[in-house]
Chains A and B, each alone.
Chain A
């Protein structure tokens, strides 16, 4: 197990190098010159040339890449060209917002998705099945951006039930302990802040989890159907086991193994910043931050945040793989 863990950690290195080359090349070849954005509309050619020299943009690409990687290895993700602040500090200050949104979305998506999937599989070809799968088809195909705006118009503007955007009502933010508002408000015993933060989470979570819910529901349904068709299920039924026990104990437990992979992947990608959701709901996380940086050709920020997201994604996947051993006793890592 430990050996496997180390092996997987070492595998992280080529992945990170691959990602770094990709993001570096994309940012340097395709994006526009950041100097004109930094210097503004009054910049003279001399100023632009001087700044390019100062930023090392005139160096050959491989030298620039090596400098960048040198920084990453020493834990220095660079500084933003536009705001001059440290990329790592900026990202970590926004990380709690993203973590809170991603984790709650994945929890909601897993509970709803697995429930829908199981219902569909057990009631295959019934109206309930069509209803569940129809809903998940809508979830997969609905653009998040549009869904977000519709949710805002319906639940905030027309019905007035939920707040439009942000993490908390201004003036009601909980005392800062971990940066996770729900946890912070519980720790400080501030129930008003807790309810307020929860309300602010409802719409973004619905928007963000819609796609993951649908994917999980469809995955659960297909693996569940496969498992329910297995000989051991027939055996279990013929033994006279109650259907509830067959489905839950023999079916679901086995069907969950591939589903857990999907959930892990979803968590990984949601932690990498839910770009659209964060934009619509003005959620101050890393997705929105990265998008701003892309639009401003602020390449140290883009490179830094993509690298951090990639590392997180790989680590989450590793964690899910390790989890297999606990879910499925047949799997052992050596």
Chain B
């Protein structure tokens, strides 16, 4: 018996050793063509731009599809793409796009004005359906889209809307899809995407990976990689381990705690400003924060630099204004620097010593706040106590939290915004009094002057005049302090040293067109 057991154990050990022995050099085993493996945290929701609203889908789709316009390489300025140029009518209501000629979809059919019209009209009323999450945002106010000739398309808008151009650069809703493919797939390309981009869709094994291959007929600079595999690895630390073992070439969604380990292994770390804002809003509609002076005093009590350093471990940038600095219209406004003595003094003068306030917050981490709402609220509670304010914290799960905001609960509410189109209006219109009803204006801030300027900004063509309007709004907001801007969370990614030209766009997209690998 003894011998038998011993021999069984030995045989088992031997088998394991043999197996392990075969396993040497995991990285060396990928197939011969230039394959690039990128790991992200979740499956795309789908691969038809009309039916999705998540970043994981966008990261895949931005390599398959293209829009009429695109963003600049590391900012959100607007550049030509499938449209070579465009004209905007004097009244700002008509956009005429002159399309690039000779472009073909991956299925071999021609890209032309007809394709643009079909891609857009399926998302306009009455064709648009409830499951098109970005249709109404992207094509807001579009009354008509028509083919002027084979290579010219005209959009007619109800009213002037400059952010419309930025909307057309988004990976959601705006990209142009192959009409033939739409017809073949009953109007939904979620599982069979066909665009004009530098990569063609090959396959999608749900929960495992999406495979793309180089589009050899691409109209522009052709991709350097033959094949791109987007691998789904749910755990951030597991992705980091895979990068260290060479099983993948690049990843996004990196945990700050993994950065040092990756650096030790000579991996490249990318930490770029993100298109978001993390803030705490005062309820400007009732006492005590309906008094701008009280808001100002509390603004002095909060040290955003310290929050960024200790709470976010420097994986965020301190925010002085609502706009991230790469968005046109950003203004380096004067911010409230940390000064608890001044805060105390001001509160005393206002007769608001020993103030008691109710804070509400969300429980889960958000894209703009990696530590979650509760930890941030607790840190703020601590700052407030130093100036004599007693704050209570009520924590809710996200959906319930949004309902609470809608009901107008809480004197201070924690919130944030993840930008959509990289336009200043997308951020600043959060304080439009029209948005109080939708609860996006969580501060319930209402200032007719700001409303007027926002409307003016929307109607002014891109350029210095428009940027000046947004600068003016930021000045007013800095003075009025409807909320305390805290931070912009950074985009974190990493790549192997063998990878060249890898980068993460401020919108969170990852473009593989220029990426190369040794």
Contact = CB atoms under 8 A, between A and B. Distances in A.
Interface of A: 32-33, 36, 38-45, 47, 50-51, 54, 82-85, 90, 93-94, 115, 119, 122, 149, 152-153, 156-157, 160-167, 169-172, 195-196, 198-199, 202, 243-244, 247-248, 279-282, 284-285, 288-289, 292
A40 B131 CA distance: 10
A168 to B, nearest CB: 9
Nearest to B437: A45
Contact of A82 (B45, B191, B206, B241): B45
A160 B136 CA distance: 50
B190 interface: yes
A166 B231 contact: yes
A248 B1 CA distance: 9
Nearest to B26: A163
B402 interface: yes
B19 A199 contact: yes
A41 B368 CA distance: 14
A152 B23 contact: no
Given A84-B51, A157-B241, A164-B241, 17 more contacts: A36-B402, A40-B53, A47-B130, A84-B188, A115-B5, A115-B8, A152-B241, A165-B247, A169-B30, A170-B35, A195-B22, A199-B22, A243-B1, A244-B4, A247-B1, A280-B235, A282-B233
Contacts of A115: 5, 8-9
8 closest residue pairs by CB, A with B: A171-B31, A40-B133, A284-B207, A32-B399, A40-B53, A284-B208, A42-B137, A282-B233
A85 B48 CA distance: 13
B19 A202 contact: yes
A149 B23 contact: no
Contacts of A280: 235, 238
A90 B190 CA distance: 14
B20 to A, nearest CB: 5
Interface in B335-351: none
B438 interface: yes
Contacts of A160: 24-26, 245
A83 B205 contact: no
B214 to A, nearest CB: 15
Given A84-B190, A165-B242, A282-B235, A195 B130 contact: no
A248 B37 CA distance: 52
A169 B26 contact: yes
A149 B372 CA distance: 23
A202 B459 CA distance: 62
Contact of B233 (A54, A84, A165): A165
Contacts of A164: 238, 241-242, 245, 247
A199 B191 CA distance: 31
Interface in B22-44: 22-26, 29-31, 35, 37, 42-43
Contacts of B397: 32
A39 B26 contact: no
A94 B206 contact: yes
A126 B355 CA distance: 69
B26 to A, nearest CB: 5
B175 to A, nearest CB: 17
B377 to A, nearest CB: 20
Nearest to B51: A84
Contact of A157 (B5, B31, B191, B245): B245
A15 to B, nearest CB: 28
Contacts of B45: 82-83
Interface of B: 1, 4-5, 8-9, 16, 19-20, 22-26, 29-31, 35, 37, 42-43, 45-46, 51, 53, 130-131, 133-134, 136-137, 188, 190-191, 205-209, 229, 231-235, 237-238, 241-242, 244-245, 247, 397-400, 402, 418, 420, 438
Nearest to A42: B137
A163 B241 contact: no
18 contacts: A36-B399, A39-B133, A42-B133, A50-B130, A94-B207, A115-B8, A149-B237, A156-B241, A161-B24, A162-B20, A163-B245, A165-B233, A166-B209, A170-B229, A171-B35, A199-B19, A282-B232, A284-B208
Nearest to A149: B237
B23 A289 contact: no
Given A156-B241, A196-B29, A279 B207 contact: no
Query: For chain A, what secondary structure do more than half of its interface residues adopt (helix, strand, loop), or is it mixed?
Result: helix
A47 B134 CA distance: 12
A195 B237 contact: no
Contacts of B188: 84
Given A32-B397, A164-B238, A280-B235, A170 B30 contact: yes
A157 B20 CA distance: 14
A157 B244 contact: yes
A115 B12 CA distance: 12
A236 to B, nearest CB: 15
Contacts of A42: 133-134, 136-137, 420
Contacts of B247: 163-166, 169
Nearest to A93: B206
Given A47-B130, A169-B247, A170-B30, A161 B20 contact: yes
Nearest to A172: B29
A113 B50 CA distance: 52
A199 B238 CA distance: 17
B23 A199 contact: yes
A24 B253 CA distance: 34
A167 B208 contact: yes
Contacts of B25: 160
Contacts of A43: 133
B206 A33 contact: no
B133 A84 contact: no
Contacts of B229: 170
A247 B237 CA distance: 47
A289 B232 CA distance: 12
A54 B238 contact: no
A149 to B, nearest CB: 7
Contact of A44 (B234, B398, B438): B438
